[in-house]
Amino acid sequence: MFLFSLIISSLISISSYSWIGMWMGLEINLLSIIPLMNNSNNSMASEASLKYFITQALASTIFLFSIILISSNFVIFKNIINPLMIIFNSALLTKMGAAPFHFWFPEVMEGLSWINCLLLLTWQKIAPMILLLHNLNSLMFLFSVIMFSMLISGIMGLNQTSLRKIMAYSSINHIAWMLSSMFTQEIIWIIYFFIYTMISINIILIFMKFNIFYIKQLFISMNNNLMFKFFFMFNFLSLGGLPPFIGFFPKWLIIQNLINNHMFFMTFLMIMLTLMTLFYYIRLIFSMLIINMNEIKIFNKNTNKFWILMSNFMSILSLTFCTILFNYF
């Protein structure tokens, strides 16, 4: 029931014609995900759901406050970008977890189960992203948010041993790419989000199957599962955006469109700063390849291998198929 209302609330927010309708959608969304987060008997889940609730309630308050001031034609400075729009956008960026409003995101992720992490990484970004997409007017502010997200995700991710925090900082990096796709075309944002979701599902399915939460567990579990080890590696490289994999495709589109719009400096900075996230992905993969240890493995045997294998094959081979299709049509 809560999952259904979560989906409906995001759709209400996206399809609403009024600001209050959008705010209502975001509030229903928040009230739907709290019980989903808090469904386990884990004290960390309770703590995470409380942190999430407080942060989102704060962002919603700021959002509503800025809507009321904007609709009452309250102008602070004339002939300058209205600061109210920056406040409005900041509330949306806080909701999605973009830097420098990311303070809650890794902490909340750390206390959740993998399914809830997946919801937070993917579905919870849709409504704030689309509202921001229809309200782009302070481009310098958005540019600074993109640079902050790139820097913070790169530097903070280097130091982590928890896979949930690595996924959180990785997500902040991808938020920056998604925000930059908004400068050009909406369709690129949709492609990027769809591919990011697909790769995240693949990675989290593997984490769930082996019941892994930390890097050390990753080495132990993947030791006797060569096929899953390679799938996992390919998916992480795809998440980083290396060329033979599908994760490169949306980044390629964004880079090409930014260059066509003469945003050379921004493109250069984004490519350079993304290398930091790629570094800790590759460090993780290399450690997994090189460290070989035999220990007792405890993982959930009930999950069906077929869907994991199927989705991974689709993810790994899809860029090749895309390239062949575009050449023919």
Q: Show the domain range for 148.
A: 2-328
Whole-number pLDDT of residue 81 = 54
Q: Say whether pLDDT at 314 is over 90.
A: no
Burial class (CB in 10 A: 0-12, 13-18, 19+), 214: middle
The residue-averaged pLDDT of 161-171 equals 95
State the average pLDDT over residues 38-67: 90
Q: Give me the mean pLDDT over the 210-226 stretch.
A: 83
Residue 295 has pLDDT above 50, yes or no: no
Top pLDDT among 269 and 39 is at 269
Question: How does pLDDT run across 126-141, given as a tens digit for each residue?
Answer: 999 999 998 887 888 9
Element (H, E) at 117: helix 114-121
Is the pLDDT confidence value at 227 over 90?
Answer: no
Find the range with the poorest average confidence among 136-145, 175-184, 309-318: 309-318
The mean pLDDT of 97-111, rounded to a whole number, is 93
Q: What is the mean pLDDT of residues 74-97?
A: 79
Query: 48 and 114 in contact (C-beta within 8 Å)?
Result: no
CA angle 317/323/328 to nearest 5° reads 125
What predicted TM-score, i.e. pTM, was given to this entire model?
A: 0.90
- Total number of domains in the chain: 1
pLDDT band at 232 (very low <50, low <70, confident <90, very high): confident
Q: What percent of the chain has pLDDT over 70?
A: 92
Query: Which residues lie below 8 Å from residue 268, measured CB to CB, with a gap of 6+?
Result: none
> Confidence class of residue 298 from pLDDT cuts 50, 70 and 90?
low
Cα 128 to Cα 290: distance, rounded to the nearest angstrom: 41
Cβ atoms of 184 and 134 within 8 Å: the answer is no
